[in-house]
Structure 1
Amino acid sequence: MLNRNNLYFIRRKVTNHIMLSLTFLSVVLTVLPLLLIFYYTVTKGLTSLNLDFFIAMPKPVGEAGGGMANAIVGTLILIGIGGAIGLPVGIMSGTYLAEFGNNKFGNVVRFLADVLSGIPSIVVGVVAYTIVVLPMHHFSAFAGGVSLAILMIPTITRTTEEMIRLVPHSYREAGLALGIPKWKTSLVIILRSAWKGIATGVLLAFARAAGETAPLLFTALGNRFWSTKIFQPIASLTVYIYDYAKSPFTEWNDQAWTASLILIALISLISLLFKFLTRSKY
């Protein structure tokens, strides 16, 4: 008969194997959806991937070929407008919260930023439609950029705050000892030390903005023609994916898959770019 110590050892060993199996299963369940997304996007997206897709305009129903050059450029313009608005606001807000926000006002701003990060994007689109599109009396790339900036700001703000708080306090003391004002110490010394972590938050914000559809339906709307004017409706990959994926035409369905592949490649390219820019020299 097994004594108590042997039974205890066997029970521990069985429990250990069970927990290892559960953790491995969790990893598989985490990675599997991503692998399925890549598999279907690549296999179906390659069917319409060619040079015309990048340089040609969309063609009417029934005509073979065509591309989404206007949507690719439009997506880059929308992300650029959103970044031009959201980056400085988010970084400056996060800097304020980390360096000067240990008060009631700072707590209120943190709470509002957390709430804003959880608001559905379609609600942001409706708000942007009300405050930008209606006063301007037309849809525009600028309105789309504003809606994307609203979505980007809370992520950048909270990431910037957390990264700045990780900078050693001795850096601040060194700056003050040299007679540098606190605001200049924060902007020149602290931000420089935390910029790699901040870049990660910026990447997450850009990735979210690049994949949004709902707010653009209420703001940028879309455009079947070539347009780079920021105060006119503009095409975007996500809106084209939305329109083409629900279309009954096979050609448009194939192009929706290709647009999805291009969008994933664009986000991956942004990620690699930030990895390259923030790589360590040592």
Structure 2
Amino acid sequence: MTSNERLYQIRAFKNRLAMVLSCGATAFGLIWLVWILVTTVINGFQALNLSLFTQMTPPPGTEGGLANALYGSALMSAIALLIGTPIGLMAGIWLAEFARHSRLGNTVRFINDILLSAPSIVLGLFIYTAVILPLNLLTNHQAGFSAIAGALALALLVIPVVVRTTDEMLQLQPTTLREAALALGVPQWKLTLQIVLRAAKAGVLTGILLALARITGETAPLLFTAFGNQFWSSNLLKPIASVPVVIFQYAMSPFEDWHSLAWAGALVLTLFVLILSLLSRLILLRNRLT
């Protein structure tokens, strides 16, 4: 056997070994993912019924649903998007169009990346310290945990996601697009809003959907802010129920009927995130086709 043949066999062995290890690692990760999904679907479907969406969270040993928790999650998520999306869009536009290569822009990107990777419980603790405690003292313990505080905590999770995606999507637009518009005498603000942002709208919208998907299942910040409520509440200054917190509380309880509701809530959240993921992919696919 020549040295070239021996070298070829060694390389072929390394290639097969790397392929086997890669496939094994992929299969190992997929097994756990499939196991989690199958367990959630099986246990969740057993408790999935109409009362889940029409009745409020019950005391132990009685029938009920998650209507107030679903409403609370939807309300806080909507407010968080209304607060976080405009801030994230404006910050992302500024980074991409006006501070792309500046030192200040790079510093803001670095800080945004830190906020993006920060544990959500830290943001919840920040809102608890900066909003709930002072409000509690100012109102003589009449106000504290509230839906608006939970929405503010979720908004802090929305902002860095929207900033990052908006910045990247705008930077992906060709420079020739900007140069052509400026050569025709288009003002900078009109170029940014009506040309560049419109060209990147699919990616920006996808970023907003991803931000919504992220805050949907957050539990830790809501434990410090919205806390929870067994009853239906539309008061933004009072505690409010949410699906992730209810899942946490019911899963830790010793009651079997609460466990069933927790599995049903987990399935609803999983399906909602799946729908958002599919919707974002459809938006990107449609943008490529057009």
Name the TM-score class by shorter chain: over 0.9
1:104-132 Cα offsets, whole Å, 9 max, x none, are: 32122112111111222111111112222
Residue number in structure 2 paired with 1:26: 25
Partner of 1:12: 11
One-letter amino acid of the structure 1 residue matched with residue 159 of structure 2: I
Return 29-38 or 140-149, whichever deviates more. Answer: 29-38
Q: Provide structure 2 residue ranges, at least 5 long, that are not aligned to the other structure.
A: 136-142
Instruction: Say which of 196, 199, 217 aligns to 2:202.
Output: 196
* Cα distance in 1 for residues equivalent to 2:282 and 2:54: 28
State how many pairs are aligned.
280
Shift in Å, 1:188: 1.4
1:37 aligned residue: 36
1:246 aligned partner, one-letter code: M
For 2:176 and 2:2, the matched residues in 1 are separated by: 59
Deviation at 1:262, TM superposition (A): 0.6
CA shift at 1:145, angstroms? 0.8
Q: Structure 1 unaligned runs (5+)? A: none
CA contact (8 A) 2:113 2:160 kept: yes
Q: Supply the distance in 1 between the matched residues of 2:166 and 2:28 (Cα, whole angstroms).
A: 31
Shift of 1:205: 1.6
Indicate whether 1:104 and 2:103 are aligned.
yes
Comparing 166-175 with 239-248, which one deviates more in the overlay? 166-175
In the other structure, the counterpart of 1:85 is 83
Counterparts of 1:66-215 in structure 2 under 5 Å? 66-101=64-99, 102-136=101-135, 137-215=143-221
Q: Deviations over 1:48-87 (max 9, x none)?
A: 1111111111221122x21001111111111111111111
The CA RMSD measured in Å over matched residues stands at: 1.6
Counterpart in the other structure of 1:60: 59
For normalisation by structure 1, the TM-score amounts to 0.93
TM-score (norm 2): 0.91
List, as ranges, runs of 4+ consecutive aligned residues in structure 1 with deviation greater than 4 Å.
none
C-alpha distance in structure 2 between counterparts of 1:197 and 1:187, whole Å: 15
Q: Corresponding residue for 2:262?
A: 256
Q: Aligned match of 1:223 in 217, 229, 232?
A: 229
